[in-house]
Each structure stands twice: as structure tokens, then as C-alpha cells.
Chain A
Amino acid sequence: MDEKAVRQKIIDIIAEIAIDEDLSNLDDNVKLRDQLDLDSMDFLDVVMELKKRYKIEVPTEDYPKLATLKSCIEYLGPSFH
């Protein structure tokens, strides 16, 4: 799956969780928490959705790798088929 498709899948998950937010101008290099009103519960929601939708497990020690869209794509990319 190419980077663009992976990015879209991640944004689809964030869109369901950060329902009130405009996601059209996200900067891939800036921390998601600095661009959106997201807290720790939201990140747990992201992790749970990855597991539910794509059977991707993110161990606790890897949570920092979900900080930016860029790091999400790099980290999760290989897990998407």
C-alpha cells in the first residue's frame, strides 16, 4: 500500500475520533497533539481502531511513534497490506 493510502487510512481513523476537528490542512511533520485537540484517551482510541479495523497491534512502548502523521505512516506503513 502506498504512503498516500496509508495516510488516508490513518486520517479516517482520526476523523472518527476527533469529530469536531477540520483535518483538511494537517501538517505531516507537526505533532498531531499540537494541531488537534487530542488527549491520551484519543490516542488509545486510535490504537484500538487500528486493532479492530486492520488487526495492527501497537505495543505501549511504540505509542510515541504515533506522534506525527509522518511517523505514523513510517511506523504503520509496513503493517498495512
Chain B
Amino acid sequence: MSTSSNQNARVVITGVGLTAPNANNLKEFREALLTQKSGITHMDVRYMGKVAAGNCNFDENLYQKKKMRRRGTRAGSISIYCAHEALKDSGLSIDSVVKDRTGIYLGITEHGNVETENEIYELHQNNLDASLWSHHHNPRTVANTPAGEVSLNMGITGPAYTIGAACAAGNIGIIHGMQMLQLNEVDLALAGGISESTGTFGIFAGFKSQGALGFHDDPIKASRPLDINRNGIVVSEGGAIFVLERLEDALKREAKIYGEIIGYHINSDAVDFVLPDTQRQIQCMKTAINKANITANDIDIVNLHATGTISGDLNECEAVKAIFEQSENTYINCTKGFIGHAMGAAGALELAGNLPSFKDNKIHSCKYIENVDPNCCLKNLVNGDPIEKKVNIILSNSFGMLGINSVIIIKKYK
């Protein structure tokens, strides 16, 4: 254990736990991405009817008692599942970690909407009798609930909180976990992002009102980033939590190492509530690349944020072209065609889906794009089949509303 803050401490990923609409662990997820398996289905949403969405089917009671699931939230349940899976994958057990020195840092897009909407619905069913309002409302809706539920479930007594960062949150959870390790606040971080957003009618209705809710009669075609015929975002739930450790600690216990976080950056557009800004995205990627002390051409994979909205896709493609146009070595993919937009989980899930590239030397494709938007014809866009390529460095973008941008860069650990 380090005894003082070390800004230069190298931080590595040693465990991955996830649930996505098409998989419940990393092996399944990788397989799904390599074989073009979609997790999008149609579902009925209160007041709206049929929508396209990505829902997970992990076993909620694998690590959580039914009573605690009833008391808690779907976001908490997803977090508990992913945290246990990550720890198990890292080769650690809950009894072997120092609970005071373990931190839980979970990125979220939003929290509390699901419970609040349900309770207001119940309130109307109960003739507006506010005395029947659930005493569970406050503990279920405080913003730290997903992380707090993990702490309660696992008995982890270190810092446990969420980080609200819209759809950039998955990356930012990881970045924050890394920083806390470097500050020597903790010795182990369970960090990533989660989302329960398919449980809230408001998110679907909000995107629909904005003209940005993706739909297709065939649900597996509903999420079509970079396709000229795309029509918006497909809302999904999910989670990905990573075990992060300082390299020296991971080596000491001979842990399996997925990769090292070598660069990152977070910045803000400061121009619009919802529309992205190309220049700030460029700045964010460039700064992350500089921090990693590499060049653009050193990067083997750029995983786009690519949500399937016109402005989102176009702005990001312009930004990526500005940096990688001359990079022969760099290949581009995106993930949301398979799993939709998992909101606060998106960045973490999308990074997880690419990590196995370090080992299998394949780059997963975008979900097949039938008609690539001419403005999105990026060089080395992987479309259709995976490609074989030795992969050493991955850059992953995640951007969010209110103009928050995040970029993370992971390097294969040799």
C-alpha cells in the first residue's frame, strides 16, 4: 500500500463486471459484439405505448436478497450485480479486500426519476392521498443510492457515491476512481457507470418531444448510429463496473491486468443544453492524447459516442476526422447499434466491449450500417465484420447533455 498521494501512480483495470441488453458478463458481451447480436426489443412504456429499448436480463437475486431488491432500486440492483461480478473477475473476494480502503464510484446520467414517476402514478391511483406516499421515497431517490446500495450489500465502508455527468458519466466514474487511487484515498476502486433509465417514461417522452427517439418496426434496426436513415436514440439500461488498482498492488498479487489507464480528459462545451460542440470534443480528445504522451496514430481503436442523433453523429465525426484523418493505424467503431444508449453506463460498457481486443487482436464492428451517412464516412470505419489487428491502445469517447465531454485512453499492459 502506498503511504502518500502519487499523481503519477499507474492505475490498471483488473476486473470487469457488466450487464448489457445483449450480455451479462464480459465474455458474453464480447461474443455478442463480434457476432452482431443486438439486445434491442420493443416494450410498452406507460402513457406512450410501444418503444424500442434495451433491457437487461441478469439475475437480480444472485447477489441480493429479494427483500433488499424490493426496498432498493433497479439502479442499485444493477450496481450490486456488476460490483460482485467485477470483484469475482478480479480474483478478489469481499473477505479479502480492506473495506475501509475500497471506494465505489459510479457514473450516472440521472437517478430518482423511476421511483418518483412510479410514486406519482401510485398517488393518482390512491386519489392523491399523500399519506400513502412511500417512506422509501427519500432513500431510493437520493443521488448516491446506486453506490450506497453496493456499500450496504457488500459491507464496503470506504467512500461510495455517484457522479452525475449525463451520458459522459461512465467514463468519468472510471477517471474518478483512478484519481482517488492516485490520491491514495483508497487501495481499490469499484468504478464505472450504471443506468436504470428504461424504467422511466420521462426519458422516452423527452427524447420523443425533442425529435430524437429512435424507432423501427424491427427493433434490432432501431438504433442506427452513423446511418443516413437513423432517427434517434434508443434508451437502454445496463452497467459496467471495473476493479481498479494501482499497478504496484496489482503486480504484487499477480492479478490479471486488462489494461492501464494512460490518458483522459474532461471538459465542457458551455454553449448549449443539448447540442454538442465539435471544437470542445476535439480539444477533449487532443488533451487526453497529450496527457497519455502518445500521438493520434498510436491509437488503434477509437470507440465513438455515436448515439444515432444527426447532430451528435455529425459533430463527433467532424471532431474525429480533425484528429485522426492522417492516422493510418487508427480504426473506428461504435457500440450503440447493438445495445442502444445505456446512458450513464454507456461509456463504461463501450470501453469494456473493446478491452478484449488487447488479447484477441480483433476490433469489433459497428452494428452493420446499411447506408453510411456521407458525413460520417470516417477512414477505417469498421462496418460489418470484425477485423483482425494487433491492438495496443484504445480511446473511448463519451459525451453528454449540458455539454460535458469525456475521453479515456487505455493501453495494453505488457
Contact = CB atoms under 8 A, between A and B. Distances in A.
Interface of A: 17-20, 37, 41-42, 44-45, 48, 51-52
A41 B136 contact: yes
Contacts, number: 24
A37 B67 contact: yes
Nearest to A21: B67
Contacts of A41: 71, 135-136
B414 interface: no
A19 B135 contact: no
B67 A19 contact: yes
B65 A20 contact: yes
Contacts of A52: 126, 132
Interface residues on B, range: 10 to 19
Contacts of B132: 48, 51-52
A48 B136 CA distance: 11
Nearest to B126: A52
A44 B71 CA distance: 12
Q: What 6 pairs across the A-B complex have the smallest Cβ distances? A: A19-B66, A20-B65, A44-B135, A20-B66, A19-B67, A20-B67
B134 interface: yes
A17 B135 CA distance: 14
A19 B132 CA distance: 21
B115 to A, nearest CB: 15
Contacts of A19: 65-67, 70
Contact of A17 (B67, B131, B134): B67
Interface string B25-65: 00000000000000000000000000000000000000001
A24 B112 CA distance: 36
B67 A18 contact: yes
Contacts of B131: 51
Given A41-B136, A52-B132, 11 more contacts: A17-B67, A19-B66, A19-B70, A20-B65, A20-B66, A37-B67, A42-B67, A44-B135, A48-B132, A51-B131, A52-B126
A17 to B, nearest CB: 7
A43 to B, nearest CB: 11
Contacts of A17: 67, 70
A48 B135 contact: yes
A44 B133 CA distance: 12
